[in-house]
């Protein structure tokens, strides 16, 4: 059979999914750019409005700050978990792994609801504190940055743990043993021998959490109560309250460009292929 | 192994972090059993009234059923499309195929609100707003990345010479795929289909943009419930879903313990 014909047949398998994706997904997303320069009037009006707006700047800063803090906290907590699961827990390993994955399978909406039940003004935490007489008036855990951060870390933590686990699984224990055998303390062996080898997993998990956090909507919207407006919520707010599709589209373009720049820069330090294309 | 301070730190830390991950989710269970009409712990006695409300509410049942059948169609469609796509890419294994695979995972990288905005404007021109088909199409696109990742992972473990042998013995491409490739990547396809179902079953932002009144899904009901009144019925729904997840996870953990245990012989 001629080679070209064969290749064509393989493309026939690839094409349906690819065509659907390009026509119904890539094209509409690229079209957002079109909306941003045509609504309500043709021109770059939405962009000048965006760059001049103080509220937009505040929202972008807030978004980056929350995403950065979430990433750092997730990496710290996730590292402890991943390290324990891969090195210490032999008997408890399947149980620990199951407990990491359990929240992963519960929808973000329900997890946010659980946090509202806990952290709300008359939530369980405040009720318990008031019943025991520790506080007289409810503490505000929710509708502020703290509430959003707690719930965001909760949602994102598994995303940080999984790439680090995959990475640590590939590190043979013999290096640490050799370092210990040569007289290094346990801490020194960890710091100088083990930790540098785990950096690819750390970067990979960090990038995943950061990128997902930047565009996160549900948890900030529910736990922030309109007071902590991250950029995704700002976009829907512009559209729902003011029908301001043009500005919403311009903000979307800005968010997309920011995400693309981060991925591009991160690509120099992180194996993007392993982070996104070949993750399991 | 000796219990070093480092080890103790990591082990205690881990259990604390796991408690932080799991316990807040379980809080929906006692709340769902409350005998009051608002969110909180049971006051006088345990009550199943909110489960009763859920099971007798046509709106909630209708939305649950809609989410289930949309999820099943999305799982079937995205698994079929994604599997064919991956097999083609696996055979090609060239630069173009790698680029195609990157294109397929774009939905993971684009923020939900941004893609939903894009969907909305396009779905308006296609007349798909507030239709079940519009939601199914959007969810299929969002599920495709997960399907392609897990199916392709299964394919990379497959020896290229096996389908080649079938071809050399005269099997047409379709026959080789059906009898040789598909059976060996079935686990990846099943994982992909489960992922796709869950992506669709949990999806909320797209549904909020693309539907008005005619299409009600379970996440949309929960979302509206939280926004409006935080009704304990939501806790009952959440409890049902959390317990289902718990059971499945427990079964998976038990299975992996059974697999690591030596056979009694």
Query: Quick one: three-class SS letters along A125-187?
Result: HHHHHHHCCCCCCCCCCCCCHHHHHHHHHHHHHHHHHHHHHHHHHCCCCHHHHHHHHCCCCHH
Lowest mean pLDDT among A95-104, A143-152, B226-235: B226-235
Output the six-digit token pair for A37: 């320069």
In chain B, the residue whose alpha carbon lies closest to the alpha carbon of A89 is: B11
CATH 1.10.3720.10 positions along chain A are 54-277
CA distance A167 to chain B (A): 16
In chain B, the residue whose alpha carbon lies closest to the alpha carbon of A235 is: B113
Residue B265, pLDDT score: 44
CA distance A155 to chain B (A): 8
**pLDDT band for position B230 (cuts 50, 70, 90):** low
CB contact under 8 A, A80 and B10: yes
Is the predicted pLDDT of residue B136 greater than 70, yes or no? yes
**Best CA proximity match to A157, nearest among B22, B248, B239:** B22
Residue A271, pLDDT score: 85
Is the predicted pLDDT of residue A247 greater than 80, yes or no? yes
B245 and A105 Cβ atoms separated by less than 8 Å = yes
| Spatial distance between the Cα atoms of B236 and A258, rounded to a whole number of angstroms | 40
Mean pLDDT of B34-49: 84
CB contact under 8 A, B201 and A11: no
* Residues of B whose CB is below 8 A from A21: 103-104, 106, 141, 144
Structure-token match 């774009």, residue found: B106
Cα atoms in the Cβ-side hemisphere of radius 13 Å centred on A3: 1
B54 and B265 Cβ atoms separated by less than 8 Å = no
- In chain B, the percentage of residues whose pLDDT exceeds 70 is 96
Output the six-digit token pair for A192: 């100088």
Architecture of domain A54-277: Orthogonal Bundle (1.10)
Domain B60-240 has CATH 1.10.3720.10: yes
Which runs of E-coded beta strand occur in chain B? none
**pLDDT band for position B262 (cuts 50, 70, 90):** low
What average pLDDT does the structure give for chain A?
91
| Spatial distance between the Cα atoms of A276 and B110, rounded to a whole number of angstroms | 13
In chain B, the residue whose alpha carbon lies closest to the alpha carbon of A158 is: B21
CA distance B28 to chain A (A): 6
* Residues of A whose CB is below 8 A from B22: 99, 102-103
* Residues of B whose CB is below 8 A from A15: 88
**pLDDT band for position B2 (cuts 50, 70, 90):** low
| Spatial distance between the Cα atoms of A163 and B227, rounded to a whole number of angstroms | 34
Residues whose CB is less than 8 angstroms from the CB of residue B130 and which lie 6 or more positions away in sequence, other chains included: B210, B211, B212, B213, B214, B215
**pLDDT band for position A123 (cuts 50, 70, 90):** confident
CA distance A21 to chain B (A): 6
Residues whose CB is less than 8 angstroms from the CB of residue A29 and which lie 6 or more positions away in sequence, other chains included: A256, B106, B110, B114, B115, B118
**pLDDT band for position B240 (cuts 50, 70, 90):** very high
In chain B, the residue whose alpha carbon lies closest to the alpha carbon of A207 is: B109
Residue A21, pLDDT score: 97
Output the six-digit token pair for A115: 């946090």
* Residues of B whose CB is below 8 A from A111: 24-25
| Spatial distance between the Cα atoms of B144 and B153, rounded to a whole number of angstroms | 14
Residues whose CB is less than 8 angstroms from the CB of residue A273 and which lie 6 or more positions away in sequence, other chains included: none
- In chain B, the percentage of residues whose pLDDT exceeds 90 is 73
């Amino acid at each position: 059979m001629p080679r070209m014909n064969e290749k064509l047949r393989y493309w026939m398998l690839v094409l349906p999914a690819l065509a659907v994706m390009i026509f119904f997904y890539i094209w509409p997303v690229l079209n957002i750019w079109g909306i941003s320069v045509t609504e309500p009037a043709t021109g770059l009006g939405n962009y000048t409005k965006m760059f001049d707006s103080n509220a937009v700047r505040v929202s972008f800063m807030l978004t980056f700050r929350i995403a950065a803090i979430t990433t750092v906290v997730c990496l710290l907590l996730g590292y402890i978990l991943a390290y324990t699961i891969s090195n210490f827990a032999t008997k408890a390993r399947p149980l620990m792994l199951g407990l990491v994955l359990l929240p992963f399978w519960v929808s973000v909406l329900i997890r946010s609801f659980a946090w509202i039940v806990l952290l709300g003004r008359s939530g369980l935490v405040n009720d318990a504190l008031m019943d025991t007489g520790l506080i007289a008036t409810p503490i505000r855990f929710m509708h502020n940055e703290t509430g959003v951060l707690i719930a965001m870390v909760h949602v994102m933590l598994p995303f940080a743990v999984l790439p680090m686990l995959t990475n640590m699984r590939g590190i043979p224990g013999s290096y640490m043993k050799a370092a210990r055998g040569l007289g290094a303390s346990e801490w020194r062996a960890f710091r100088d021998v083990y930790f540098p080898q785990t950096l690819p997993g750390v970067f990979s998990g960090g990038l995943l959490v950061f990128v997902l956090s930047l565009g996160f909507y549900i948890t900030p919207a529910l736990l922030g109560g309109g007071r902590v407006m991250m950029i995704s919520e700002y976009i829907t707010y512009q559209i729902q309250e003011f029908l301001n599709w043009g500005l919403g589209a311009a903000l979307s373009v800005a968010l997309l460009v920011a995400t693309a720049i981060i991925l591009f820069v991160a690509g120099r330090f992180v194996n993007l292929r392993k982070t996104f294309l070949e993750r399991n | 192994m000796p219990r070093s301070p480092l080890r103790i730190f990591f082990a205690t830390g881990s259990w604390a972090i796991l408690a932080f991950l799991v316990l807040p989710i379980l809080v929906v269970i006692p709340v769902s059993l409350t005998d009051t009409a608002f969110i909180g712990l049971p006051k006088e006695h345990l009550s199943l009234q909110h489960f009763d409300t859920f099971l007798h509410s046509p709106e909630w049942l209708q939305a649950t059923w809609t989410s289930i059948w949309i999820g099943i169609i999305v799982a079937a469609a995205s698994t079929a499309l994604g599997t064919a796509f991956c097999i083609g890419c696996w055979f090609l294994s060239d630069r173009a195929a790698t680029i195609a695979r990157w294109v397929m995972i774009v939905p993971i990288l684009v923020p939900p609100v941004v893609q939903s905005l894009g969907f909305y404007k396009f779905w308006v021109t296609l007349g798909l707003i507030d239709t079940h088909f519009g939601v199914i199409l959007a969810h299929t696109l969002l599920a495709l990345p997960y399907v392609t990742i897990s199916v392709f992972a299964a394919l990379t473990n497959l020896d290229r010479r096996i389908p080649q042998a079938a071809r050399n013995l005269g099997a047409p491409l379709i026959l080789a795929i059906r009898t040789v490739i598909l059976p060996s990547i079935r686990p990846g396809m099943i994982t992909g289909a489960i992922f796709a179902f869950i992506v669709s079953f949990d999806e909320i932002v797209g549904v909020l943009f693309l539907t008005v009144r005619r299409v009600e899904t379970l996440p949309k009901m929960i979302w509206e419930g939280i926004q409006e009144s935080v009704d304990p019925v939501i806790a009952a729904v959440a409890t049902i879903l959390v317990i289902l997840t718990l059971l499945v996870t427990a079964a998976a953990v038990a299975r992996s313990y059974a697999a690591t245990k030596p056979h009694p012989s």
